[in-house]
């Protein structure tokens, strides 16, 4: 909880009496008005004032000397607010909501259906129905948050995402539109919808990015492209919002335990040229969870960074992030291609094509 220290001066020479504001907690009363009403709603407990130190007679009725300094008190500041998209089930959004709540934030968790957030509402977290691909629902959610907070939002976390594992040549229109609409277009929509609240708070917009923006992960071309586009959008948004005092942070995420990939395994279409390595394609669909960081550990690190007065522009979190950072920082772009070119059956497929066993 954030606290501000205040000292209160009161110039008065008339007699004062001790009153009781709530029947149990004594406070000062001057001219029939509780002192805390004149001093930003502070209450001054008699137990916090030493008669010897302050030269006050130990009675319940005493004169306050002219310009007398009363004991400093602590004032509780309003809780900071955060809205997180995509909080359903086991995943990053759910873990972030719980961690922000544990750190004293007022949390608005969203999902397509509020009933999917019962585990969070049981903790005291506020649920809001939101389909991030709907501009109408975003506008309604922003209005709802504004009505509850007085028109401000300290942190907006764009977490909602959609997986898409399919060879680029086999992707359908639904694949292409679905992953771009959820992973990129919806982020633009929510930034536009909630920007007035964040600007008023001089707050922070957070994008949950991915290391796949810079890693040619086999069969992930569409998903990787959405994260690369999100990275570029975020960097430019940061420049455009800086004059308004808004921070923009990208969490470059590695492997994290989540349900984004779902449990079902997709098969290749019968016309796919990748059928000879379909077993590798099926295996690929579950690899994001191999050695993945626990969601609670991920959330603790992220919330710690976002709680700073000036959050970092980029924060790397999750398994495998440091090897990727080292490679992309100190090695040529071709090196990443070299270490990925033989993964998930690409070496086998290359050999079959070279030997003439596959006719394209």
Among residues 80, 162, 227, 257, the one annotated as catalytic is 227
Degrees to nearest 5, angle at CA 190 with 151 and 195:
40
17 touches 86 (CB < 8 A): no
Query: Is residue 189 annotated as part of the catalytic site, yes or no?
Result: no
174 touches 164 (CB < 8 A): no
Query: Is residue 68 annotated as part of the catalytic site, yes or no?
Result: no
Beta strands 314-317 and 68-69, pairing class: unpaired
30 touches 10 (CB < 8 A): yes
What are the CB-based long-range contacts (under 8 Å, 24+) for 355-360?
358/273, 358/276, 360/273
Distance from C-alpha of 27 to C-alpha of 55, rounded to nearest angstrom: 18
Q: Tell which residue, 84, 91, 87, 122, has the closest CA to residue 105.
A: 84
288 touches 261 (CB < 8 A): yes
Among residues 80, 162, 223, 257, the one annotated as catalytic is 223
Q: Tell which residue, 214, 205, 180, 164, has the closest CA to residue 316.
A: 214
Distance from C-alpha of 164 to C-alpha of 224, rounded to nearest angstrom: 9
Catalytic annotation, residues = 223, 227
């Amino acid at each position: 909880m954030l606290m501000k220290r205040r000292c209160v001066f009161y110039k008065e020479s008339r007699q004062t009496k001790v009153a009781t504001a709530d029947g149990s907690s004594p406070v000062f009363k001057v001219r029939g008005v509780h002192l805390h009403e004149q001093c930003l709603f502070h209450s001054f407990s008699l137990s916090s004032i030493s008669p010897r130190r302050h030269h006050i007679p130990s009675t319940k009725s005493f004169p306050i000397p002219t310009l007398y300094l009363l004991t400093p008190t602590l004032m509780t500041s309003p809780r900071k607010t955060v809205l997180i998209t995509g909080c359903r089930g086991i995943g990053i959004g759910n873990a972030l909501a719980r961690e922000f709540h544990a750190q004293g934030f007022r949390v608005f968790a969203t999902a397509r259906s509020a009933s999917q957030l019962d585990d969070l509402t049981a903790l005291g977290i506020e649920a809001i129905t939101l389909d991030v691909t709907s501009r109408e629902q975003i506008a309604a959610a922003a209005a709802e948050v504004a009505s509850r907070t007085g028109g401000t939002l300290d942190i907006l976390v764009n977490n909602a995402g959609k997986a898409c594992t399919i060879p680029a040549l086999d992707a359908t229109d639904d694949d292409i539109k679905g992953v771009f609409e959820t992973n990129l277009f919806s982020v633009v929509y929510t930034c536009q919808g909630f920007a007035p609240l964040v600007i008023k708070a001089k707050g922070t917009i957070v994008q949950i990015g991915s290391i796949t923006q810079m890693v040619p992960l086999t069969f992930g071309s569409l998903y990787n492209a959405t994260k690369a586009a999100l990275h570029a959008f975020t960097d430019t948004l940061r420049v455009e919002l800086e004059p308004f005092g808004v921070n923009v942070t990208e969490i470059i995420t590695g492997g994290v335990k989540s349900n984004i990939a779902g449990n079902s395994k997709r098969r290749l279409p019968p016309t796919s040229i990748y059928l000879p390595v379909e077993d590798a394609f099926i295996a690929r669909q579950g690899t994001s969870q191999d050695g993945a960081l626990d969601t609670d550990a991920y959330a603790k690190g992220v919330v710690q960074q976002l709680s700073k007065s000036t959050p970092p522009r980029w924060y790397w979190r999750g398994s495998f992030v440091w090897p990727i950072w080292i490679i992309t920082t100190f090695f040529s772009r071709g090196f990443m291609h070299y270490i990925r070119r033989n993964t998930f059956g690409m070496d086998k497929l290359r050999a079959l094509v070279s030997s003439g066993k596959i006719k394209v």
